[in-house]
Structure 1
């Protein structure tokens, strides 16, 4: 199987773009800058074929999604949620991201800071550096992480049910905590239980339930290595955490 190497941008490169080009720079300006400062980015030295064109095609697709969500008009809550959902699905279905390249922070930094700075600014306004830098708060890497963990499989008619069903608060609660979001089985179990409980008590109460449940799960993880449990045992641990959170919330009312 051929591995396609994607363009990369160092953390220094991200900061240099913002510092030297200003807040409103374009993709063309960023590419021109990097052509004169090649040490700030590039590709892996070996291990595959360089494929900038496919990455740019992905960027075009993500920009199309943003335009459908009324970019460049300032996005409201509904438009942000729609963009995050549809962009996450596009990233999850993207063939070129099914390799170790997708695990590299500098690849995501290139996508955000070079290919899609306009989309980052539209989605987050005066976006802080972390929305361009690689990591769990990168504009696009965070969405790919959601898709990777909550994907029920290409042959499943309900493939994106979990991703579509969660609120933004629930996504953040899961995926900004590596011990939860970095474990696909645990993330899926947490998402599925969130959806089940929300149907019983209503979505309005779920932010506090989720906060308490995640706290319980993180405490459990200090005692039990959840990553070595069977899928069924993980699901049971999650059910117990949510049940305890609901009971605690009911008791305080």
Structure 2
């Protein structure tokens, strides 16, 4: 059973955000805490996270932030590395179940009480959805926990290796379609394995991915992805990816022989390298 985390309700979260967005990082360090008078817990069974566990979680995330340049300004590459590291760290250490992680109020507590200095360092002067938990695809910490949840593979030597396959913008394309695709770790991991086996040099990867996902969305009403054997599912996904690549190549005006040669290069990689 997972742990229950404090929840910071919307009105109080909004008030703190309005105050904290005007503070410096050094000032935010001083207001970071493991408790808040307005925090509540959901009235269901389960063990509440202990204060020492929250302290340890803060230490882990703060250490990762320091590696990324905290409290000074960072650069794009360091922020990207921080995001991947914090995704794995949050998922591995928080002991959250998906139902608890689906609460924006939990993530509001994380960003505005436990780690406000890190949250506002990662996103200086952020729009509210980066810290309030109103949109988990945008939340500074919530979005990363969910990325880790969807790719986590306990059988692999590195359970979070698949985090590196897609960048944030590309992964968000999957998670934004979560009602049909992004709520299934089984499907998401299969998508990533197929994608990792493609050689898309010279192609617009974002356009290929967008078309690929559109084709999967059209399949979703007719295919229960979770019930399809892994090999059959990956074959189906490869076929959809192939159709997406062909469509993009045809818009570029490639002739049939050129198209076939290009396709052979795109799909020559073995899926075994992505497992």
Shorter-normalised TM-score: what interval?
0.7 to 0.9
The farther-off stretch of 225-234 and 47-56 is 225-234
Partner of 2:167: 167
Partner of 2:195: 194
| Whole-Å separation in 2 of the counterparts to 1:72 and 1:244 | 47
Task: State the 1:85 CA deviation.
Answer: 0.9
CA contact (8 A) 1:27 1:115 kept: no
CA contact (8 A) 1:59 1:111 kept: no
Report matched runs for 1:43-192 at 5 Å: 43-50=41-48, 51-94=50-93, 96-98=95-97, 100-134=99-133, 135-153=136-154, 155-178=155-178, 179-192=180-193
Task: State the 1:16 CA deviation.
Answer: 1.6
Task: Classify 1:53/1:123 alpha carbon distance in 2 versus 1 (closer, same or farther; 3 Å).
Answer: same
| Whole-Å separation in 1 of the counterparts to 2:235 and 2:192 | 13
Partner of 2:244: 245
Task: State the 1:31 CA deviation.
Answer: 5.1
TM-score normalised according to structure 2 size: 0.79
Which structure has the larger Rg?
2
Structure number with higher helix proportion:
1
Ranges in structure 1 where 5+ consecutive residues have no aligned partner: none
| Whole-Å separation in 2 of the counterparts to 1:48 and 1:203 | 51
Task: State the 1:10 CA deviation.
Answer: 1.2
Cα offsets for 1:101-139 (capped at 9, x unmatched): 333221111101211222222222221111112222211
| Whole-Å separation in 2 of the counterparts to 1:11 and 1:229 | 40
Task: Classify 1:95/1:10 alpha carbon distance in 2 versus 1 (closer, same or farther; 3 Å).
Answer: closer
Task: Classify 1:20/1:126 alpha carbon distance in 2 versus 1 (closer, same or farther; 3 Å).
Answer: closer
CA contact (8 A) 1:142 1:175 kept: no
CA contact (8 A) 2:191 2:237 kept: yes
Ranges in structure 2 where 5+ consecutive residues have no aligned partner: 253-275
CA contact (8 A) 2:4 2:41 kept: yes
2:209 partner SS: helix
| Whole-Å separation in 1 of the counterparts to 2:63 and 2:18 | 28
CA contact (8 A) 1:17 1:30 kept: no
CA contact (8 A) 1:194 1:206 kept: no
